[in-house]
Structure 1
Amino acid sequence: MTAARLQRALGLALVAALLLWNGAWLHRGQPLVALLGSLLLALPHAPVLALEMLLMRRVHVHQPVPRASWAAVAKAWWHEVGCGVAVFGWRQPWRTHAEPDHWPPEAQGRRAVVLVHGFMCNRAMWNPWMRRLRAAGHPFVAVTLSPPWAAIERHAPALEAAVRRAEQATGQAPLVVAHSMGGLVVRAWLRSIAALHVGGAAGALAKRTAGVITIGTPHHGTWLARFGRADNTRQMRLHGPWLQGLAETEKPAGYAGFTCFYSDCDNVVFPVSAAMLPGADNRHVPGQAHVQLLGHPAVFAEVLRRLDLSPAGPPQGTELPLGGARA
C-alpha cells in the first residue's frame, strides 16, 4: 500500500467517525460534547506531536545549540499541528500528482532540482516548492518512494532514474534536495554508484550532482526510531548499525558537498546533532518543527541561490504555505 492510499483510508475513516459522533450527540441534545469530541477526532495527531516535543526537549543535552524555550516549542507544536492537517490530511492523500514534473522547452542549460521526500510521505510534500520552481521556469522532478516501509537502499534506483532524467533534460548535474529520510536515500544512492566514480561516494556526489541540501535529515539517526519496527525505521535508530555501515563507506571530505538544515524544535529528528554531518555546511534554523522546516524562507532561498535563478523569480523571503489549506 502506498502512503497516499493509507492516508486516504485514514482520512475517510476519520470523516466517518466524525459524522457518527456528531450524529449521536446532537441527537441527544449535547452540542458541547459533540464539539469537544469533534476537536479530538479531527486533531488526533496533536497530543502525539506534543509528546514528541516534550521528548525532544528532554533529550536535548550537550548539543551545539541551546535548548529551545517553552514558548518556541509551543509555537512550533501549534504550527506542526496545522502542517499535519494540510500535508497528511489533504495534500499527500488527494493531491499527489497535482504538480507534475516540469521540463520547459528551455530546460537545456538550466540547473534542475531533484526533490526527495521522507518517511511515509510522497511527492506532494513538495507541492508549494514545485509551484514556485515552475513559476521561475526552472526544471524539476519529484520522486515518490514506494513502498513506504522498505529498506532505505531499495529507493536508490528510483533516485538514480530521477537524476538521469534531469541530466538528459538539462545537460547538467542537478541539485538534489531531500527532506528527512530522503537525505539518507541520497547517501544510499551515492554509495550504490560509488564504485563507478573516482573517489567513491564523494566522487559520485561531485560528478552526478550540483550538491545536496538536506532538511531535517537523521544523518546519525533519531531517538524516536527506537519505537519503529519497519525496515527503514530500524535503519534510522540513533547511531545504529546501518548508519554506521553507511558512514564507513564515505569519506568525511565528501560531506563538504552537503548543506544540512536542522532545528532546535524538530520533533522527529533529535537530538539536533543527529541532523548534522561533520565537514558539511550545517545551518541552524531555530524554532522550526520537522515539516515546518520545509516552509522556512531561509531554506528555499538557499535553493534559489544555488540554482542562480534570475531576479524575475519569486521573492526569496516568502514563507511557503506548508500549513495552509492549499495543495
Structure 2
Amino acid sequence: MNGRLQRIWVLLRLAVALAVGWRFGWAWGALTLGLHAAILAGGFLQLRWVNRPAPTWGQLLRAWAREVVASELAFSWRQPWREWAEPDHLPAGAGQGVLLVHGFSCNRGRWNGWMKRLRQQGIAFVAPSLEPAFGSIEAYADEIEAGVQRLKAHTGRMPVLCAHSMGGLALRAWWRRFGAGHEAPHVITLGSPHQGTRMAALGLGINTQQMRLGNAWLAALPGLPDVDCFWTPCDQIVNPAERAILAGARAHRLDGVGHMGLVHSEEAWQCCQTALASSLVSVNTPRRI
C-alpha cells in the first residue's frame, strides 16, 4: 500500500512542478520540486531548541544535506518503484540470517542497500512490507514472526533483527507476543521512538498515536534482551533525541546524520556484521564440561 501511495505522490509532485514550470518558467518548476528540501530544513532547525545538548549548526547542515538525498532516494525511487528489486534471499547452505523491519510510511525497499550487500555475502535475509500501513503496530507481529520462522527453518538459528524507526516498536510488540517461543535475538534499532516522539502528534493513523509521548500502549511494551540502539541528535523525526534509546540497551550516538540517513550509516552496518560474527562464534564454540 505504501508503495502505491508513494508512486501517486511522486507523480503528483512531478505534475505540479511541470504545471508551475509551464505557467511561470522552468526555474520556478525546479524550485517547486525543491520544496521538500525546504520543509526538511525546518525540521532540523527546531532541533537546536529541542535537544540538549543541542547539535551544532555544522552538524545540522550536514545532516540536512544528507537527509535530502536519503529521503529522495527512499520516497521517490526505492520505495515507490523498487520495493521488490531485492527479493528475500534464502540461499542453499546459508548458516546465518537477518530480518529487516522498516518504519512508518515505508516498505521493504527501504533496505535495498543492505539487502544487496547481504546477498553478496551469501547471508539469508527476509524483509517484510508491514501492513496495514496506518494500522496498529500490534498487527505487524504476525508478519515479523513469519519472517523469523522462515529464517530459523532455513539457517537453523535465530536471525539478527534490524529495525528502522517504528520497526523497533514492532519488534517489541512481536517479542511480547511470540518471545516465549524463541531464544533471545540480537536486535539493532536505528532511530526507533522507544520512548515516543513529539513528531507523532502531527501524524495520522493508529500507529502514529502509539508513538506519541506518554501513551499507555507504548509504556506497556516490554524491552528487548539484547539490543543496540543507534540514535542521533540530528533526528528530525524522533525527538527529543534520547527517546530513541531503550533502557538497558547499548547506545550508539551518530552526529551529522538525520533520521532516514541512519540506514545508510556504515556504523550501523558494521554493528550488524559484528552481530552476525558473534552468533557464528557462539554456535560453533563447543561447550566445556
Q: What TM-score, normalized to structure 2?
A: 0.92
Q: Deviation string for 1:184-228 (max 9, x for gaps)?
A: 00000011124x45xxxxxx5xx152x110000000000111222
CA distance in structure 2 between the partners assigned to 1:236 and 1:140 by the alignment:
27
Q: Deviation string for 1:18-69 (max 9, x for gaps)?
A: 22222233xxxxxxx421x2233212322221121122221113xxxx3210
Matches for 1:1-327 after TM superposition, within 5 Å: 2-25=1-24, 33-35=25-27, 37-61=28-52, 66-107=53-94, 110-194=95-179, 196=180, 204=182, 207=183, 209=185, 211-246=186-221, 250=222, 255-308=224-277
CA distance in structure 2 between the partners assigned to 1:161 and 1:23 by the alignment:
50
Q: Is the 2:21–2:30 contact (alpha carbons within 8 Å) kept by the matching residues of 1?
A: no
Q: Is the 1:167–1:174 contact (alpha carbons within 8 Å) kept by the matching residues of 2?
A: yes
Secondary structure of 2:229's partner?
A: strand
Q: Deviation string for 1:86-133 (max 9, x for gaps)?
A: 1100110000000011111112xx120000000000000000101100
Q: Superposition RMSD on alpha carbons, in Å?
A: 1.5
Q: Cα offset for 1:256?
A: 4.5
Count of aligned positions:
278
CA distance in structure 1 between the partners assigned to 2:67 and 2:112 by the alignment:
17
Q: Deviation string for 1:141-161 (max 9, x for gaps)?
A: 111011211111011100000
CA distance in structure 1 between the partners assigned to 2:47 and 2:130 by the alignment:
27
Q: Is the 1:181–1:217 contact (alpha carbons within 8 Å) kept by the matching residues of 2?
A: yes
CA distance in structure 2 between the partners assigned to 1:124 and 1:286 by the alignment:
25
CA distance in structure 2 between the partners assigned to 1:85 and 1:184 by the alignment:
25
CA distance in structure 1 between the partners assigned to 2:6 and 2:32 by the alignment:
15
Secondary structure of 1:106's partner?
A: coil
CA distance in structure 2 between the partners assigned to 1:102 and 1:38 by the alignment:
41
| Partner AA of 1:77 in structure 2 | W
Secondary structure of 2:93's partner?
A: helix
Q: For the structure 1 residues 225 and 279, does the alpha-carbon distance in structure 2 shift closer, same or farther, using more than 3 Å as the test?
A: same
Unaligned stretches of 5+ residues in structure 2:
279-289
Give the structure 1 partner of residue 283 of structure 2.
none
Q: Cα offset for 1:6?
A: 0.5
| Partner AA of 1:19 in structure 2 | L
- 149-158 or 66-75, which moves further after superposition? 66-75
CA distance in structure 1 between the partners assigned to 2:172 and 2:8 by the alignment:
32
Q: Is the 1:223–1:238 contact (alpha carbons within 8 Å) kept by the matching residues of 2?
A: yes
CA distance in structure 2 between the partners assigned to 1:184 and 1:255 by the alignment:
10
Secondary structure of 1:193's partner?
A: helix
Q: Is the 2:172–2:224 contact (alpha carbons within 8 Å) kept by the matching residues of 1?
A: no
| Partner AA of 2:113 in structure 1 | P
Give the structure 1 partner of residue 284 of structure 2.
none
Secondary structure of 1:237's partner?
A: coil
Q: What TM-score, normalized to structure 1?
A: 0.82
CA distance in structure 2 between the partners assigned to 1:261 and 1:138 by the alignment:
23
| Partner AA of 2:143 in structure 1 | A
| Partner AA of 2:12 in structure 1 | A
4+ residue runs of structure 1 moved beyond 3 angstroms?
A: none
Q: Cα offset for 1:279?
A: 1.3
Q: Is the 1:256–1:281 contact (alpha carbons within 8 Å) kept by the matching residues of 2?
A: no
The sequence identity of aligned pairs, in percent, is 40
